Structure 1
Amino acid sequence: MAVDQGIVEWVREALEPIGSVTLRRMMGGATLYLDGTVFALVTQDALWFKADAQSDALWDDAGSERFTYEAAGTVKSMNYRRAPSDVYDDPEAMQKWAALAVAAGQRAPIKRKRR
């Protein structure tokens, strides 16, 4: 599954006033970072914002489904939520939801590299 470059470029353009968006390709998709903080995934032809227990109620109110995937015959989920539809054409909506996702990324525990 290829990364939708159109989505990536739109995210970069919409978030340019607040920071620099970079990406790291992985498992058929990409992880997006804003000034070094992970905040989103681009996969399954969609944008998924980072979420956590503190922001879940806001994502639920927006009707944003949880990111799920199948592994070894079971459905698993990750702390990412589907971006609301207005982020695809409204820079202010993109900035609002991305800020919520960046805050979740900043609250996430730092993962230590294995030796």
Structure 2
Amino acid sequence: MAFDEGLYAWVQEALEPLGSVSMRKMMGGATLYLDGTAFAIFAEDDLWFKADGETDAIWDEAGCERFTYTFKDGRVGTMNYRRAPTDVHDDTDAMQRWANLALQAGVRAAAKKKPTKPKAV
């Protein structure tokens, strides 16, 4: 699955005032990071922003569908990402506003992860 390089360039440009956007390709898509914090993914030829329990109502109100995927056995799974509102594709302010909401969810998710214990030597 490919992603739109032009959209990636737009995300970098629009979010430059907030920090540095980087990307790690994976599983046919890519994860986007803002100054090292995961905040979005490219999948299914679109941009999906990170969400969580604190932001779900905001995404729901904006009509942003939840990211889903289908397993080989037909089961459907979900991830805490929401399809980006259409205005982020051509409005810098909208891109920054929605990306900041996603970044906050990314920061909270990173804080919940337990630190890894150092290996005994």
TM-score strictly above 0.5: yes
TM bucket, shorter chain: over 0.9
- The residue identity in structure 2 corresponding to 1:25 is K
Task: Verify: 1:3 aligned to 2:6, yes or no.
Answer: no
Q: CA deviation at 1:96?
A: 0.1
Aligned length: 114
Which residue of structure 1 lines up, in the alignment, with residue 59 of structure 2?
Answer: 59
Residue deviations 1:57-85 (CA, integer Å, cap 9, x gap): 00000000000000132110000000000
Partner of 1:52, secondary structure, is: coil
Q: CA deviation at 1:92?
A: 0.3
Task: Verify: 1:110 aligned to 2:113, yes or no.
Answer: yes
Task: Verify: 1:19 aligned to 2:19, yes or no.
Answer: yes
Structure of larger gyration radius: 2
- Structure 1 unmatched ranges of 5 or more: none
Partner of 1:86, secondary structure, is: helix
> Could you tell me how far apart the structure 1 residues matched to 2:13 and 2:106 are?
20
TM-score by length of 1: 0.94
> Could you tell me how far apart the structure 2 residues matched to 1:41 and 1:31 are?
4
- The residue identity in structure 2 corresponding to 1:62 is A
- Structure 2 unmatched ranges of 5 or more: none
> Could you tell me how far apart the structure 2 residues matched to 1:110 and 1:32 are?
18
What do you get for the CA RMSD once the two structures are aligned? 1.4
